[in-house]
């Protein structure tokens, strides 16, 4: 039961002032700038964009600053501002095959066309705190930037390095299930109420904006036996892709920008046998920004959620689409969990008087206080 309670206006105003002062911190320390957050805390910005389901690096950096680094609060801020912008339309499908690659590795092929490209990764670092980062120092150099060398050589042609999708080898031999293009319009969970059973289009959209921690735990649970997905990583790739739209009045595809994405394709247990030709099955992860932990988790959970499609026994929460899809959104989750801190004065009075009357009955029935 909800009863409107008035009052506290002045306290709220002061709480906001206090929050702003806390956000700013010690005034003797320079204020952090949006560009610093975007450039030096880029993984936080990427996470906020993915979970807010809005690719807007500058606004996401602003949200991180305003939320004092509370990333779920930052996601909330970005989602709220998203609601005020009109939607102009839909893009053409991204093609990760045409990605300008920053990193691509395969866990199944050692020598694949294009090779293993590590890119900027934490993987081989020793996870030792680097005390030197606490000091101000010269900007870090990229591998090819030698001091004194002219950095702006343009060149006449683009250096192309061909990195075809690792999955091609398996799909050419027919060893992995096919993924044929179909022209069907996908459903959009920001426009349609969620309905079960949900198609894979809705599930992937839901997972792409899901809370990273929630997906990570689900993926882990599936690998450990609450479910049965423990895949091979055919390929994990990070890079930028062009986003294109076809404005109705132009009638030809037009690039509107470039975005960074992380994509993960997994190879999973066989399907088939009997009359069906056995083949590997696929899991797919695609997220905004540099975020391979989430892309991997998404690919695992995507495959786990396909259990019904392959007639597999449902053994764990990662395979249960209602459980996954209804609890994956951290803004919904935070709202519902956190609402209990708000006034429930009347509900509680009701519970209290109920308990008192139970106590009274207990006393009259011969029960005694301790």
Partner 1 sequence: MSQPCRRQYLELLTLASSASLRRGLDGYRQNLKYEFIRPPETGLIMVRGRQGNTGALFNIGEMLVTRCAVKHEDHIGQAWVAGRNAAKAELAALGDALAQNRAYAEALAPFFEQLRRERLGRINRETKDIMTTKVNFITMVRGEDKND
Partner 2 sequence: MTDQTYSPGLKEPVFDSQAIFRAALSALSLPALKFKLSADRLPQQAPLPPLAAGLALTLLDFDSPAWLSPSWSKAAGWLAFHNGVKPAAPGAASFILAAGLTELPALEQLSPGDERCPERSATVIVNCPRAENELPVYAEGPGLKRPRLLPPSGLSSAFVRFWQANHARYPLGLDLIALNGDGLWALPRSAKLSAEPERRAV
Minimum distance from residue 89 beta carbon to partner 2 (Å): 5
Q: Which does 248 bind (CB under 5 to 8 A by kind): partner 2, partner 1, none?
A: partner 2
Which class for 108: exposed (0-12), middle (13-18), buried (19 or more C-beta within 10 A)?
middle
The entry of partner 2, partner 1, none near residue 72 (CB within 5 to 8 angstroms by kind) is none
* Binding at 153: pick from partner 1, partner 2, none (beta carbon under 5-8 Å per type): partner 1
Residue 7 interacts with partner 2 (CB under 8 A): yes or no: no
Which partner from the list partner 2, partner 1, none does 370 bind, CB cut-off 5 to 8 Å by kind? none
Smallest distance from the beta carbon of 190 to partner 2, in angstroms? 11
Q: Which stretch binds partner 2 (CB under 8 A): 140-148, 244-252, 277-285, 356-364?
A: 244-252
The answer to whether 122 contacts partner 2 (rule: CB under 8 A) is no
Q: Which residues of 298-333 are buried (b: 16+ CB within 10 A; e: fewer)?
A: bbbbbbbbbbeeeebeeebbbbbbeebbebbbbbee
- The C-alpha atoms of residue 115 and residue 72 are separated, in whole angstroms, by 37
Q: Which residues of 58-81 are buried (b: 16+ CB within 10 A; e: fewer)?
A: ebbbbbbbebeeebbbbbbbbbee
State yes or no: residue 191 binds partner 2 (CB under 8 A): yes
79/293 with CB nearer partner 1 = 79
Q: Which does 321 bind (CB under 5 to 8 A by kind): partner 1, partner 2, none?
A: none
Is the Cβ of residue 169 or residue 245 nearer to partner 2 in the bound state?
245
Q: In angstroms, give the least distance from the CB of 197 to partner 2.
A: 17
Dihedrals phi, psi of 265, to nearest 5 degrees: -115, 130
From the list partner 2, partner 1, none, pick the one residue 339 interacts with, judged by a Cβ distance below 5 to 8 Å according to partner type.
none
User: In this chain, which of 147, 148, 155, 248 binds partner 2, going by CB under 8 A?
Assistant: 248
Cβ contact 103:163 at 8 Å: no
Torsion of CA 149, 151, 153, 157, to 10 degrees: 120
Question: What count of other Cβ atoms lies within 10 Å of the Cβ of residue 346?
Answer: 12
Q: State the virtual CA torsion across 230, 232, 233, 234 in degrees, nearest 10.
A: -140
How far lies 106's CA from each of 208, 267, 287, in Å?
Answer: 21, 11, 18
Kind plus residue range of the DSSP H or E element containing 63 = helix 57-66
User: Judged by CB under 8 A, does residue 184 bind partner 2?
Assistant: no
Kindly list the strands in the beta sheet with 100-105, ordered across the sheet, starting from the edge strand earlier in the chain: 100-105, 232-245, 254-273, 276-288
Least Å from the CB of residue 241 to partner 2: 23
2, 85, 88, 161: residue in contact with partner 2 (rule CB under 8 A): 88
Binds 252: which of partner 2, partner 1, none (CB < 5-8 Å by kind): partner 1
Using the rule CB under 8 A, is 86 a contact of partner 2?
yes
The item of partner 1, partner 2, none sharing an interface with residue 186, based on CB under 5 to 8 Å by kind, is: partner 1
Smaller CB separation from partner 2, 5 or 256: 256
> Please, which residue, 28 or 93, has the CB nearer to partner 2?
93
Residue 87 binding partner 2, by CB under 8 A? yes
Q: Please state whether beta strands 276-288 and 254-273 pair in parallel, antiparallel, or not at all (unpaired).
A: antiparallel
Alpha-carbon distance of 163 to 266, in angstroms, equals 17
Give the H/E segment covering residue 284: strand 276-288
Q: Counting every residue, how long is the chain? A: 370
**Phi, psi of 5, deg, nearest 5:** -120, 130
Residue 85 binds partner 2, judged by CB under 8 A: no
Give SS3 for 128. coil
Binds 330: which of partner 1, partner 2, none (CB < 5-8 Å by kind): none
At its nearest, how many Å lie between partner 2 and the CB of residue 200? 23
Q: Does 89 bind partner 2 (CB under 8 A)?
A: yes
Angstrom distance (rounded) from CA 50 to CA 53: 5
Name the residue nearer to partner 2 (CB basis): 88 or 124.
Answer: 88
Q: For partner 1, which is the closer residue by CB, 39 or 253?
A: 253
């Amino acid at each position: 039961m909800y009863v409107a309670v008035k009052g506290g206006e002045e306290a709220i105003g002061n709480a906001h002032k206090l929050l702003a002062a806390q956000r700013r911190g010690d005034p003797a320390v320079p204020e952090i700038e949006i560009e610093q957050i975007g450039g030096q805390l880029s993984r936080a910005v990427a996470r906020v964009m993915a979970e807010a389901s809005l690719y807007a690096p500058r606004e996401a950096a602003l949200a991180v600053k305003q939320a004092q680094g509370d990333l779920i609060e930052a996601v909330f801020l970005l989602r709220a501002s998203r609601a005020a912008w009109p939607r102009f339309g839909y893009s053409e499908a991204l093609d990760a095959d045409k990605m300008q690659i920053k990193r691509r590795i395969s866990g199944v092929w050692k020598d694949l066309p294009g090779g293993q490209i590590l890119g900027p990764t934490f993987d081989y670092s020793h996870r030792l705190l680097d005390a030197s980062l606490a000091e101000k120092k010269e900007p870090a150099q990229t591998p090819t930037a030698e001091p004194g060398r002219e950095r702006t050589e343009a060149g006449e042609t683009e250096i192309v390095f061909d990195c075809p999708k690792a999955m091609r080898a398996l799909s050419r031999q027919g060893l992995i299930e096919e993924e044929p293009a179909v022209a069907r319009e996908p459903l959009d969970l920001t426009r349609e109420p969620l309905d079960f059973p949900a198609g894979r289009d809705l599930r992937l959209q839901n997972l792409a904006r899901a809370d990273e921690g929630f997906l990570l735990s689900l993926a882990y649970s599936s690998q450990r036996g609450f479910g049965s997905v423990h895949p091979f990583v055919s390929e994990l790739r990070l890079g930028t892709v062009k986003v294109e739209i076809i404005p109705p009045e132009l009638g030809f595809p037009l690039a509107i920008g470039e975005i960074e994405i992380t994509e993960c394709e997994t190879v999973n247990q066989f399907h088939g046998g009997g009359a069906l030709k056995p083949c590997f099955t696929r899991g797919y992860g695609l997220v905004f920004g540099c975020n391979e932990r989430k892309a991997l988790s998404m690919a695992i959970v995507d495959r786990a959620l396909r259990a019904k499609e392959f007639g597999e026994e449902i053994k764990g929460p990662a395979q249960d689409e209602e459980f996954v899809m209804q609890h994956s959104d951290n803004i919904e989750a935070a709202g519902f969990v956190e609402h209990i801190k708000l006034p429930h004065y009347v509900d509680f009075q009701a519970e209290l008087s109920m308990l008192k009357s139970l106590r009274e009955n207990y006393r009259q029935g011969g029960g005694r206080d301790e």
